[in-house]
Amino acid sequence: MKLKVTWLIVISVIAFIALSVIQGYLIYNTYTLKRNAFIQNTRSEILNIDYNKHLDSIVDTWEETLKNQIADYKNKRTTKQIVLNKLRQKADSLNSNYYNLYKEELAHKDLGYAVSYKKNIESIVIFDKENDTIFPLAEQTNFKLFGNDFQNSKANSVSVSRTFSQYDYIDQTENKINTQHYNLEIKFKDLMYIKDKNSIVFKQMLGLLIGSLFLFVVMLGLFYYSLKSLMAQKKISAVKTDFINNITHELKTPLATLGIATKSLKNQQILSKPETLQNSLAIIDRQNERIQKLIDQVMTNSLKAQHLKLALKNVEIIPFLNHIVEDFKLSVEAKPLQIAIAFNHQEKELKIDPFYFSTAIFNLLDNAVKYSKEKAKIKITTDYNNNCFFLVIKDEGIGIPKKEQQHLFEKFYRVSSSNLQANQGLGLGLYYTQQIILAHQGTIKVKSEKSKGSTFTIKIPKIQ
Could you write out the three-class secondary structure of 222-266?
Answer: HHHHHHHHHHHHHHHHHHHHHHHHHHHHHHHHHHHHHHHHHHHCC
> CB–CB of 146/58 below 8 Å?
yes
State pLDDT tens for residues 1-39.
566 777 877 888 888 889 889 988 999 999 999 999 999
In the predicted structure, residue 362 carries a pLDDT above the cut 60: yes
In the predicted structure, residue 42 carries a pLDDT above the cut 50: yes
Please compute, for residue 234, the number of CA atoms within 13 A of its CA located in the half-sphere on the CB side: 14
Q: Write down which residue in 150, 180, 204 finishes a domain.
A: 204
> CB–CB of 8/230 below 8 Å?
yes
pLDDT score, position 299: 61
In the predicted structure, residue 175 carries a pLDDT above the cut 80: no
Of 175-179, 295-299, 304-308, where does mean pLDDT reach its minimum?
Answer: 295-299
Q: Are residues 330 and 367 in the same domain?
A: yes
Q: Are residues 231 and 325 in the same domain?
A: no
What count of other Cβ atoms lies within 10 Å of the Cβ of residue 180?
15
Q: Are residues 150 and 238 in the same domain?
A: no
Q: pLDDT band for position 393 (50/70/90)?
A: very high
Q: Write down which residue in 300, 330, 345 finishes a domain.
A: 300
pLDDT score, position 142: 85
Cα–Cα dist 147/322, whole Å: 97
In the predicted structure, residue 453 carries a pLDDT above the cut 70: yes
State pLDDT tens for residues 302-343.
567 777 788 899 999 899 999 888 888 877 776 788 999 998
Q: Are residues 23 and 87 in the same domain?
A: yes
- What total of structural domains would you count in the chain? 3
pLDDT score, position 241: 67
Pick 49 or 83 by higher pLDDT. Answer: 83
What count of other Cβ atoms lies within 10 Å of the Cβ of residue 27?
16
Q: Are residues 398 and 318 in the same domain?
A: yes
Residue 49, phi-psi category: left (phi > 0), alpha (psi -120 to 50), beta (remainder): alpha
Q: pLDDT band for position 390 (50/70/90)?
A: very high
pLDDT score, position 305: 75
CATH of the domain at 211: 1.10.287.130
Vertex 285, ends 279 and 290: CA angle to 5°? 125
* Per-residue buried b or exposed e for 311-332, using 16+ beta carbons within 10 Å of the residue's own CB: eeeebebbebbeebeeebeeee
State pLDDT tens for residues 399-416.
888 888 888 888 777 666
pLDDT score, position 421: 43
Q: What percent of the chain has pLDDT over 70?
A: 88
Q: Which amino acid would we find at residue 24?
A: G
In the predicted structure, residue 420 carries a pLDDT above the cut 50: no
Q: Are residues 239 and 331 in the same domain?
A: no
CATH of the domain at 382: 3.30.565.10
In the predicted structure, residue 98 carries a pLDDT above the cut 80: yes
| Mean pLDDT score of the chain | 84
> CB–CB of 247/301 below 8 Å?
no
Q: Coil, strand, or helix at residue 181?
A: strand
> CB–CB of 152/191 below 8 Å?
yes
pLDDT score, position 187: 95
The parent domain of residue 271 ranges over 206-300
* Per-residue buried b or exposed e for 28-53, using 16+ beta carbons within 10 Å of the residue's own CB: eeebeebbeebbeebbebbeebbeee
Q: Is the dihedral of CA 84, 86, 90, 92 positive or negative?
A: positive
Cα separation of the two ends of the chain = 54
Q: pLDDT band for position 290 (50/70/90)?
A: low
Q: Are residues 260 and 164 in the same domain?
A: no
Q: Are residues 18 and 128 in the same domain?
A: yes
Phi/psi of residue 206, nearest 5 degrees: -55, -45
The two beta strands, 349-352 and 313-316, are antiparallel
Q: Coil, strand, or helix at residue 355?
A: helix
The two beta strands, 178-193 and 156-171, are antiparallel
In the predicted structure, residue 170 carries a pLDDT above the cut 70: yes
Q: Write down which residue in 267, 300, 333 finishes a domain.
A: 300
Report the interhelical angle of 2-50 vs 80-109 (nearest 10°): 110
> CB–CB of 189/160 below 8 Å?
yes
Q: Are residues 241 and 338 in the same domain?
A: no
* CA dihedral of residues 209, 214, 219, 224 (deg, nearest 10): 120
Pick 19 or 373 by higher pLDDT. Answer: 19
State pLDDT tens for residues 141-163.
889 999 988 888 889 999 999 99
- What are the residues whose beta carbons fall under 8 Å from the beta carbon of 165, sequence distance 6 or more? 183, 184
Q: pLDDT band for position 347 (50/70/90)?
A: low
Of 71-80, 134-143, 196-205, 426-435, where does mean pLDDT reach its minimum?
Answer: 426-435
Cα–Cα dist 429/298, whole Å: 10
Q: Are residues 58 and 137 in the same domain?
A: yes
Q: pLDDT band for position 292 (50/70/90)?
A: confident
- What are the residues whose beta carbons fall under 8 Å from the beta carbon of 171, sequence distance 6 or more? 74, 75, 177, 178, 179, 180
Q: pLDDT band for position 245 (50/70/90)?
A: low
Helix (H) or strand (E) run with residue 145 in it = strand 144-147
CA distances from 116 to 108, 110, 147, 453 (A): 15, 14, 8, 77
Q: Are residues 222 and 133 in the same domain?
A: no
Q: Are residues 170 and 49 in the same domain?
A: yes
Overall average pLDDT of the 70-90 stretch: 91
Q: What percent of the chain has pLDDT over 90?
A: 30
Peptide bond preceding 136: is omega within 30 degrees of 0, i.e. cis? yes
DSSP string, 376-387: EEEEEEEEEETT
Cα–Cα dist 185/223, whole Å: 65
